[in-house]
Amino acid sequence: MRNAAVTGHPIGHSKSPLIHGYWLKQHGIEGSYIAQDVPPETAEVFYGSLAEHGFVGCNVTIPNKEHAYNSAEKLDDAAKMIGAVNTLWLDEAGVLNGSNTDGLGFLGNLDQMLPSWDNNGNKAIVLGAGGASRAIIWALLSRGYTEVYIANRTLEKAQKLADHFGPNTIAITWDTLGEKLGEADLLVNTTSLGMTGQPELNIDLDNLSKSAVVTDIVYSPLQTKLLRDSAERGNPTVDGLGMLLHQAVPGFEKWFGVRPEVTDELREIILKEM
């Protein structure tokens, strides 16, 4: 029996056990996936001894993604560029591998919900410069986007990301966002604005081309103000729930040997729990 877990602190609210539990049952796999509270102080020791704890791997969430990055003996490209690890697995040789699947989750969601999403062009605007932003910038660059504008309340953080990711990424201030919107083929919110309990994301969409795709990583509520306003003016939109579901796919495949599908039924199950 193979066992995996989602680890973080606190961990009670994670939807990951529901997602992986659904797939384990769907595929008739005798395995387990639990929520395991791992305080940051003990995280690196824990990740360094996953097998002793009975796990073949785990997901990693707040506040342990950098600890997992430090613990991994082998990192893939995504983890290296994003600078954080959300998925760990022990390979056949017992080596602890680390990846960051948030960017793949972002792409998987758009590919599934709007297969033509990247046919528009190669210019994107990413709102926010935190961990999620790093994963999405990596994803867009790996898909061939050549102009990725990073708009953030704190310009220095956007500039740091632009320096890290190179000449195809450009930091802009929140104030100049309006001008840049006219050029964008894709607009992504990676900030927490619009999430239940947070202030709304209020931006003037007047200059945004009607063909630009708009997506949000916030999935609670499913239809954020950004997505509602965009849909109302005719822009194609994709909500953030699928990113959560798709980021889980690579881990499940590594731990249990089956590549699972993100089904409508799974979406419904998670929606009911929100």
**Residues classed as catalytic:** 65
Tell the smallest beta-carbon distance from residue 32 to ligand ATR (Å).
28
Our CB check for ligand ATR shows the closer of 88 and 136 to be 136
* Residues of this chain, 174-213, that bind ligand ATR according to CB under 6 A: 190-193, 199
Our CB check for ligand ATR shows the closer of 66 and 183 to be 66
Our CB check for ligand ATR shows the closer of 105 and 128 to be 128
* Residues of this chain, 49-88, that bind ligand ATR according to CB under 6 A: none
Residues paired with residue 148 on neighbouring β-strands, in sequence order:
124, 169
Tell me the one-letter amino acid at 43.
Answer: A
Residues 79 and 57: their CA atoms lie apart, in Å, by 16
Tell the smallest beta-carbon distance from residue 171 to ligand ATR (Å).
11
Nearest to residue 209, comparing CAs of 187, 239, 240?
187
Per rule CB under 6 A, count of chain residues that contact ligand ATR? 15
Tell me the one-letter amino acid at 221.
Answer: P
* Residues of this chain, 138-177, that bind ligand ATR according to CB under 6 A: 152-154, 157
Our CB check for ligand ATR shows the closer of 50 and 107 to be 107
Tell the smallest beta-carbon distance from residue 188 to ligand ATR (Å).
12
Residues 60 and 6: their CA atoms lie apart, in Å, by 6
Tell the smallest beta-carbon distance from residue 190 to ligand ATR (Å).
6
Residues 237 and 259: their CA atoms lie apart, in Å, by 27
Residues 8 and 30: their CA atoms lie apart, in Å, by 24
Our CB check for ligand ATR shows the closer of 108 and 131 to be 131
Structure tokens at 117: 């999403």
Tell the smallest beta-carbon distance from residue 270 to ligand ATR (Å).
18
Q: Alpha helices, DSSP H only, in the chain?
A: 16-26, 43-48, 65-71, 77-82, 102-113, 131-142, 155-165, 177-181, 225-232, 241-246, 249-256, 264-272
Q: Compose the 95-134 pattern: x for residues touching ligand ATR by CB under 6 A, - for all others.
A: ---------------------------------xxxxxx-
Strands 87-90, 96-99: pairing is antiparallel
Report cis status (omega within 30 of 0) of the bond before 221.
yes
Interface residues toward ligand ATR, by CB under 6 A:
128-133, 152-154, 157, 190-193, 199
